[in-house]
Structure 1
Amino acid sequence: MAVFTLPPDLIIFYKKHIEFLTDHAVDPDKRRYASKHEAIRHYIDLDVWGKYPFDDFPKTHFQAIMKYTDFFWVNEKHDTIQLMGNELRIMEDDFYIKFKTQKKQEVVISKKDYQKFIYNNVLALYYEDEWLINCDSFQHYFGEIFQLNNCQQVIGKDRFSEFGILPFNLMRVQKKLTNAFRNKNVPAILRQSAELGHYIGDAHVPLHTTENYNGQMTNQNGIHAFWESRIPELFANEEYDFFVGKAKYIENKQDYFWKIVLESHQLVDSVLSIEAALVKAFPQDKQFCFDERNGITTRLQCRAFAKAYSDRMQGMVEQRMTQSIQAVGCMWYTAWVDAGQPDLSIFSKKELTDAERKELEELENAYRKGEIKGRAHSN
């Protein structure tokens, strides 16, 4: 549906490949079965980091790594001693960061040096199981401040990723789509378009922005699928208006993605409290029904119960779905514009490379095995 928000040239291009887009929109979910790094790209537990509007939380991935990475060093006795970390941070401005060490000493480092250290020694380790840094590399930047005699190893500990990186991932995929347009790489354009659409959809779901993502902390288990799947399944085709207007160019992508995520988070309390009140008010024997699906009897929310929940939310699910469609169109269009508006009529459909084909086959095989790596976010 996002295709029809686009200018004519883009509509023609995407309509030619709409089957591919539809088939591969679920690839990010399949990848959760293949990679332990995938699940965190679908959500961010904002409530872990404070309260709306989360002004103190970093708005870029690089800033998050800077703020929420703890550093330790290992001496010749194999003792592990913390050097730096958010809990040890006592002051930060535009130029300096002050830490209190485990020995209660205060140390001040140059923020510029810290940024260089992270960029040159930590970013490349992000997807490694351990962030192991050479002692000499650490001493190059901070040797005059930290006297690490007989240092054996410096270790970085990621303290934020487990709580989700959704807005950072949106920026990552947006850049990949822009580069695909710039390189006139049709398979990459289609894959990144499909995946960006998936992640933007996730960002519009309130329960993708909270630690209580499936109501497990409030005795509301299953509310994630109720909101995200069951209600649209019952009412979207019959009742929702998916004509959302034309795609617009987005100047500040980072702010745009964060706006989506923050708007979703502001709806979390309503999603949970309305359902909790309805469960108490609605006849218990009318809340769940049984349906045959692929020969399996499945317990699902009854239509009347789902309708009551949808009505009490005053069209929230429809609104977030239509806003998601608009956002996908905007970001596809924005990527094309940022790439210089290449002439899509001369783009030839290239076959997938052997490596790309192998990657998709491995993705499908991992999905069929049925074991999610990381958080199963939509029980």
Structure 2
Amino acid sequence: MKRVSIFIFCFLTSPLAFSWGFYAHQRINRLAIFTLPPEMARFYKKHLVYLMENSVNPDKRRYAVVGEAARHYLDVEAYGDSVWAKPYWKEAVAFWGEDTLNAHGIVPWQIQRMKYQLTAAFKEHHTSRILKLSAELGHYIADGNVPLHTTRNYNGQLTGQEGIHAFWESRLPELYAERYDFFVGPAEYVRSPAQRAWANVKQAHHCLDSLFLLETQLTQELGVTRKYSIEERGATHQKTYSRDFSERYHQALNHQVEKQMRASIKMIGDFWYTCWIDAGQPDLNTLQELSEQDKKSEAQEKRSWLQRLLGIRPEE
């Protein structure tokens, strides 16, 4: 029981591989709140902690819930150029079939699906669903803006660059995000959520060539011994990309990580705002508080992910 409890704690509090780190996801959702108009901002600021903490739920359940993993990425190479001509789910299913889609990723379609779910939640004045869907829509949008979520070579495993995924989207933001300019302006209405979702994924995909090439060139220049270092993290020592290598790579990328974080923040704010507009601009200040039953149900859902992941009985 003690081992299970320790694992559960680690599972719920530690970053998982191959997604914006928890730090970046939480910060992106937080900053998106400040793009909203006053009619929305009061409600979202009131629930700022919830929206930050629950921004990482999709990562926490990706190994426990069937079909979850595919919602985080799009292997563009697997689909070919025809992927850009199939922006809507029904036509994609008709062309490739659901098995193929779930094998190679569906993040731009998932963003569209959640946009309509959040709009419905606003129409229903359903507080818990508005918050849950807002937090998780932010997660998928942020993932869709990560270049390494748009390729089969998601961790450099096909080019001898293993580890580049966490390096780009976790290590670099943790080191340099305090330098970034996150003022992206006010949220704006999105006339075509499908086109916007695909445009951002396509733009992220176009970053890949420089992302891989610059890492290769810098590795050749500095050598492996200067590429890595051992750093203390909590009670452990971990091998990681050295500060020198990180600084040089970050400079060579020419604000790439910052630009993609900014794109995520702006897009999340725009989508939240669009859902609210499409729902008829309900008065969010009249929504009920989260009930104790809402909180209990959410806690039970999170425990169920772990039970499925570990194969343990509920009472354990």
**TM-score band w.r.t. shorter chain:** 0.7 to 0.9
Please point out which of 219, 229, 253 is paired with 2:170. Answer: 229
CA offsets per residue over residues 196-238 of structure 1, 9 Å max, x none? 111111011001000111111101101000101000011102x
CA offsets per residue over residues 228-284 of structure 1, 9 Å max, x none? 1000011102x1111111100001000000000000111111111111111101243
User: d(CA) in 2 for partners of 1:206 and 1:267?
Assistant: 6
Please point out which of 186, 191, 216 is paired with 1:251. Answer: 191
Match of 2:246 in 1: 306
Q: Say if 2:39 is the partner of 1:13.
A: no
State the SS of the aligned residue for 2:34. helix
Q: Say if 2:205 is the partner of 1:265.
A: yes
Please point out which of 197, 203, 211 is paired with 2:144. Answer: 203
Supply the AA of the counterpart residue of 1:205: V
More helix by share: 2
Distance 1:4 1:300, change over 3 A: same
Supply the AA of the counterpart residue of 1:37: G
User: d(CA) in 2 for partners of 1:44 and 1:234?
Assistant: 27
Give the CA deviation at 1:55: 4.3
Check whether the contact 1:61–1:168 (CA below 8 A) recurs between aligned residues. Answer: yes
Please point out which of 293, 299, 302 is paired with 1:360. Answer: 302
User: d(CA) in 1 for partners of 2:308 and 2:216?
Assistant: 36
Give the CA deviation at 1:350: 3.2
User: d(CA) in 1 for partners of 2:224 and 2:153?
Assistant: 23
Percent of aligned pairs with the same residue? 41
User: d(CA) in 1 for partners of 2:266 and 2:87?
Assistant: 23
User: d(CA) in 1 for partners of 2:176 and 2:106?
Assistant: 31
1:13-162 equivalences under 5 Å are 13-51=43-81, 54-56=83-85, 58-69=86-97, 158-162=99-103
State the SS of the aligned residue for 1:25. helix
Distance 1:365 1:23, change over 3 A: farther
RMSD: 1.7
User: d(CA) in 2 for partners of 1:159 and 1:41?
Assistant: 13
CA offsets per residue over residues 69-103 of structure 1, 9 Å max, x none? 3xxxxxxxxxxxxxxxxxxxxxxxxxxxxxxxxxx
State the SS of the aligned residue for 1:26. helix
Structure 1: runs of 5+ lacking an equivalent: 70-125, 127-157, 371-379
Match of 1:317 in 2: 257
User: d(CA) in 1 for partners of 2:126 and 2:189?
Assistant: 22
Match of 1:118 in 2: none
Give the CA deviation at 1:360: 2.6
CA offsets per residue over residues 135-159 of structure 1, 9 Å max, x none? xxxxxxxxxxxxxxxxxxxxxxx22
State the SS of the aligned residue for 1:5. coil
Give the CA deviation at 1:59: 1.5
Check whether the contact 2:146–2:169 (CA below 8 A) recurs between aligned residues. Answer: yes
Q: Say if 2:136 is the partner of 1:191.
A: no
Give the CA deviation at 1:361: 2.6
Supply the AA of the counterpart residue of 1:294: G
More strand by share: 1
Report which of the two structures shows the higher radius of gyration computed on alpha carbons: 1
Check whether the contact 2:111–2:141 (CA below 8 A) recurs between aligned residues. Answer: yes
TM-score (norm 2): 0.84
CA offsets per residue over residues 96-126 of structure 1, 9 Å max, x none? xxxxxxxxxxxxxxxxxxxxxxxxxxxxxx6
Match of 1:105 in 2: none
State the SS of the aligned residue for 1:289. strand
Check whether the contact 1:30–1:366 (CA below 8 A) recurs between aligned residues. Answer: no
Please point out which of 253, 272, 277 is paired with 1:332. Answer: 272
Match of 1:138 in 2: none
Structure 2: runs of 5+ lacking an equivalent: 1-30, 312-316
User: d(CA) in 1 for partners of 2:235 and 2:275?
Assistant: 43
Give the CA deviation at 1:34: 1.4
State the SS of the aligned residue for 1:160. helix
Match of 2:283 in 1: 343
TM-score (norm 1): 0.71
